[in-house]
Amino acid sequence: MGTRTRGFANNISSPGGVFDATDLNGVVPATNIANSSLTNVTEVSPSLGYSISSVSSDPPAPGTGQMWYNTTSNVLKFKAVSTSSAWASGGNMATARDSLAGCGTQTAALGFGGRVPPLTAATEEYDGTSWAGGGNLGTAIHRHAGCGTQTAALGFGGYTTTQSVATEEYNGTSWTSGGSMARPSQTYDLAGAGTQTSALGFAGYHPLTAATEEYDGTSWTSGGTMATARRNLGGAGTQTSGLGFGGITATAVTAATEEYDGTSWTNGGSLNTGRRVAGGAGTQTSALAFGGNTGSVTGATEAYNGTSWTTDTSMSTARDRFFISTTGPSSSTAAFGGNTTGSSPYSVATEEFTGAGADVTRTVTGS
């Protein structure tokens, strides 16, 4: 077990009696101290690791290397560092749908609206394991954008029986109306990024546009125009550090990437594979693009470092017109809904992405 220096409390019992360890110096071999003889120990070296505890639910923030036994699922688990990126299955949504919007993190995601068919106003909340019903949108809608968190979400634009300029805000329980977008004829198939009180909405249709709008929690104002008008693009980042990539221009599917600094857009590195209706997550300098349609549905995943895109681990199931958790880091995101054939039937499946170097919870298996 090694040795322990300093850090002992008073009154450490030994076979020969009791001695005072307050001013103990030097090194005491661990083999010289029996566990049963230690009383009032106030500090244990981190090198000794964690004890294995029995708990009914997983710890909310376990440390790397910590191990525990979950008495509910009857499995032994531990916290580790992922050595490679991977997609894994998560809990299924209650309602299959595509063209929905969403936001949040891998363990606190929100999916809302979409096409079942018909169009739906249903909201679902994900806790990293399973989905539960939330408050319905005021209006059933699809092909809209979303951003924010599970308890402070924003949905805007989209299509009902016509294109919509409406904005709705979610507080974790119910949706209320927000300020209407400023561009009434160009409001669906757009991208979103940011938070409920500092949002970015950009590009979209109809007609095709390169317009950008910024939301302050009350109203929308015009921002810088993108270099290339497009729709069905992916988005990531924040209002002052946004990222837009892929989509459809007036002539074709594109691989072009643009970066926003809160005032203007500049060209970034192009995707390796152009695609539309793909997912996006992360920040401007650490983003993820995955899934979408290149002419057929794809599961291809690419990672962006602020300069260029590189190929990463593909999704387990190719799909498009799904949505993703956008608030969390690119190394830990979730994709849900959509369709796997380019048309109905739609999907209830959730996939969770874990990037190399991210903390992950593992289950001990074997016999």
Q: What is the pLDDT of residues 297-356, one digit of tens each?
A: 999 999 999 999 999 999 999 999 987 766 767 888 999 999 998 777 799 999 999 987
Under 8 Å between Cβ of 240 and 252? no
Predicted pLDDT of residue 189: 97
Class of domain 86-356: mainly beta
Radius of gyration of the chain (CA): 25
- Report the percent of the chain where pLDDT is more than 70: 82
Average pLDDT, the chain: 86
Predicted pLDDT of residue 77: 80
Residue spans of the domains in the chain: they are 1-48, 86-356
Tokens encoding 130: 């399973």
| Closest alpha carbon to 77 in 88, 94, 90, 63 | 63
* Better-scored residue on pLDDT, 32 or 208: 208
Question: What dihedral angle (degrees, nearest 10) is formed by the CA atoms of 350, 326, 158, 217?
Answer: 140
Predicted pLDDT of residue 144: 97
Q: Is the pLDDT of residue 78 over 50?
A: yes
Mean pLDDT of 195-222: 97
**Picking from 32-36, 53-57, 138-142, 287-291, which range would have the lowest pLDDT averaged per residue?**
32-36
Predicted pLDDT of residue 27: 53
Predicted pLDDT of residue 143: 97
Asked whether the CA dihedral 253, 181, 324, 83 is positive or negative, the reply is: positive
Confidence category of residue 87, pLDDT binned at 50, 70, 90: very high
Q: Is the pLDDT of residue 21 over 70?
A: no
Confidence category of residue 6, pLDDT binned at 50, 70, 90: very low
Q: Is the pLDDT of residue 50 over 60?
A: no
- Report the percent of the chain where pLDDT is more than 90: 68
Predicted pLDDT of residue 163: 94
Q: Report pTM.
A: 0.79
* Better-scored residue on pLDDT, 251 or 363: 251
Confidence category of residue 33, pLDDT binned at 50, 70, 90: low
Predicted pLDDT of residue 205: 96
**Picking from 5-14, 208-217, 283-292, which range would have the lowest pLDDT averaged per residue?**
5-14
| Closest alpha carbon to 250 in 277, 232, 267 | 232
Mean pLDDT of 161-172: 96
Predicted pLDDT of residue 35: 52
